[in-house]
């Protein structure tokens, strides 16, 4: 089958299309083509109602139908999936102006409508991750980590995905860890009903009193570090967070090895970045320089900057990145 084996996302669209072909054959038979939800919304904004159905290359990376090396859709795969009457959509690059707004929706008439991309990749772009060798960590429910490269390596490890980046014709290697989900389950257990500020204040007080949890390879078990006899809930949470920081460093090393590049800097974005203790635990787990994005919603920023690139040909860089050096300078200024 001509379905791409190394793909981003646990559930590529080919599986959904195959399910529809089996369970709703009449519906599929009446369809002409398919696209992503984001591109469907973008097309619906256009003044030209006859515009072709398009799919941006970033989301196409998640379909299982994109030849990642050539950057083209594998059109021959659709008949093999039992979808002989379904035509592939028109493939467009992210940050491509696909038309002008009709004015009947959320955009004024005549405003350029720009094709978007996968959320983590937009966040990376908005955070200034745009060159070969750049690494981005998107710290959310799924902690996504990616490295940019010119060409994909000949082989890709199991558990590592690949795709086409939202700009520059670059490719990426990507690995996701459900760190945010683990954090949430532990927080619900240890800090139910406690506000974030109170929790992080407790964690800051014991951050140096315990080591990282050891998380097994399949993420089924975590062995806490040696804990003090007068243990608090904060000690257990700190041990988990340190273990997840070690896991992130292990992923960085793995991606760097696969990409054949030495990684010195890593850009990190997400809600957790707002907490100084989280930043400190992450930096302590690596000798690389971590650059934390001050913007709490880097993905939203990335979408806006990607649209700016499509509409104007240039894209702003992030206004503020926090590093260990800037943290130290800020601390010195307040002493």
Residue 151 in any domain: the answer is: yes
The token duo for 113 is 């409508």
> In this structure, are 40 and 173 located in the same domain?
no
In the predicted model, is pLDDT for residue 289 greater than 90? yes
Residue 193 in any domain: the answer is: no
Residue 261 in any domain: the answer is: yes
Residue 109 in any domain: the answer is: no
Give the CATH number, domain containing residue 287. 3.30.420.40
Summarize the confidence of residues 157-184 as an average pLDDT: 94
> In this structure, are 126 and 36 located in the same domain?
no
Integer Cα distance of 329 and 227 in angstroms: 32
> In this structure, are 61 and 25 located in the same domain?
yes
pLDDT tens readout for residues 116-149: 999 999 999 999 999 999 999 999 888 999 999 9
Contact 241, 278 (CB under 8 A): yes
Residue 231 in any domain: the answer is: no
Torsion, Cα of 278, 281, 285, 289 (10° steps):
60
Q: What is the pLDDT of residue 95?
A: 96
pLDDT tens readout for residues 203-256: 999 999 999 999 998 888 999 999 999 999 999 999 999 999 999 999 999 999
Q: Which has the closest alpha carbon to 34: 21, 46, 47?
A: 21
pLDDT tens readout for residues 4-25: 444 434 347 888 888 888 899 8
Q: Which residue has the tokens 């800020």?
A: 330
Residue 164 in any domain: the answer is: yes
Summarize the confidence of residues 257-265 as an average pLDDT: 95
> In this structure, are 92 and 125 located in the same domain?
no
Residue 324 in any domain: the answer is: yes
Total of domains in the chain: 2
> In this structure, are 246 and 311 located in the same domain?
yes
In the predicted model, is pLDDT for residue 46 greater than 50? yes
Q: Is 266 helix (H, G, I), strand (E, B) or coil?
A: strand
Owning domain of residue 73:
13-99
What's the mean per-residue pLDDT of the chain? 90
Residue 104 in any domain: the answer is: no
DSSP 194: -
> In this structure, are 23 and 59 located in the same domain?
yes
Pick the residue with more confidence: 106 or 285? Answer: 285
> In this structure, are 30 and 169 located in the same domain?
no
249, containing H or E segment? helix 233-259
Integer Cα distance of 252 and 20 in angstroms: 38
pLDDT tens readout for residues 184-199: 999 999 999 999 999 9
């Amino acid at each position: 089958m001509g379905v791409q084996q190394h793909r981003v996302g646990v559930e590529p669209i080919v599986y959904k299309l195959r399910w529809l072909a089996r369970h709703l054959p009449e519906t599929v038979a009446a369809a002409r083509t398919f696209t992503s939800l984001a591109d469907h919304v973008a097309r619906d904004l256009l003044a030209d109602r006859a515009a072709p159905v398009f799919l941006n290359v970033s989301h196409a990376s998640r379909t299982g139908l994109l030849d990642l090396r050539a950057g083209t859709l594998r059109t021959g795969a659709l008949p093999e999936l039992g979808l002989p009457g379904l035509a592939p959509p028109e493939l467009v690059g992210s940050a491509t102006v696909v038309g002008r707004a009709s004015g009947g929706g959320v955009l004024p008439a005549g405003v350029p409508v720009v094709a978007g991309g996968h959320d983590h990749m937009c966040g990376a772009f908005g955070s200034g991750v745009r060159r070969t060798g750049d690494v981005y960590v998107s710290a959310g429910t799924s902690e996504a980590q990616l490295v940019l490269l010119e060409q994909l390596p000949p082989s890709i490890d199991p558990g590592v995905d690949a795709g086409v980046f939202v700009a520059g014709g670059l490719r990426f290697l990507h690995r996701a860890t459900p760190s945010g989900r683990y954090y949430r389950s532990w927080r619900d257990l240890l800090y139910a009903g406690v506000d974030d500020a109170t929790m992080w204040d407790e964690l800051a007080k014991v951050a140096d009193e315990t080591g990282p949890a050891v998380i097994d390879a399949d993420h089924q078990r975590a062995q806490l570090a040696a804990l003090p006899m007068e243990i608090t809930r904060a000690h257990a949470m700190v041990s988990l967070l340190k273990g997840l920081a070690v896991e992130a460093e292990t992923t960085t090393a793995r991606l760097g090895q696969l990409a054949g590049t030495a990684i010195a800097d890593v850009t990190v974005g997400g809600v957790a970045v707002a907490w100084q203790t989280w930043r400190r635990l992450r930096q302590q787990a690596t000798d690389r320089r971590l650059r934390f994005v001050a913007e709490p919603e880097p993905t939203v920023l990335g979408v806006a900057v990607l649209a700016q690139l499509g509409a104007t040909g240039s894209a702003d860089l992030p206004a503020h990145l926090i590093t260990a050096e800037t943290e130290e300078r800020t601390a010195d200024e307040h002493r």
